[in-house]
Amino acid sequence: MKLIFAIIHDEDAHGVMDELNKKGFGVTKLASTGGFLKSGNTTIFIGVEEEKVDEALSIIEKKCKSRKQVTTANLPPTNITEGYIPYPIEVTVGGATIFVLDVDRFEKI
């Protein structure tokens, strides 16, 4: 048995979970926050048999597309009285970060 951790953008979460559920995968969802943009993510956990890993990953890949987004970043001050100066930057959001782990033991009580 394998455990898939997938960290996905909040905008993709509903579609991913719906499609996984339609295909018979059980999904547990946790709200999470990205460290770089401090924006909302969803972390999902999927317990699957080894032969179903590729199917689950295919669904995640199909539903989680990268896209560009403009956000603001802060320039460090050049002197103490100026403070931080926000400026727009374009970043890539979406996609998925996925970990697949071996499960030594599984119990459902």
pLDDT digits (tens, 9 = 90+) for 48-98: 999 999 999 999 999 887 767 666 665 555 555 555 666 666 666 667 899
Q: Give CA 52 to chain center in angstroms.
A: 20
Per-residue pLDDT averaged across 37-58, rounded? 89
The rounded distance, in Å, linking the Cα atoms of 68 and 92 is 5
Q: Residue 96 CB: number of other CB atoms within 10 A?
A: 19
CA distances from 27 to 44, 45, 108 (A): 6, 6, 14
The rounded distance, in Å, linking the Cα atoms of 46 and 51 is 13
Domain membership flag for residue 83: no
Indicate the number of domains in the chain: 1
What's the mean pLDDT when you consider all of the chain? 83
Token pair belonging to 49:
């048999």
Domain membership flag for residue 72: no
> Is the pLDDT at 1 greater than 80, yes or no?
yes
Domain membership flag for residue 87: no
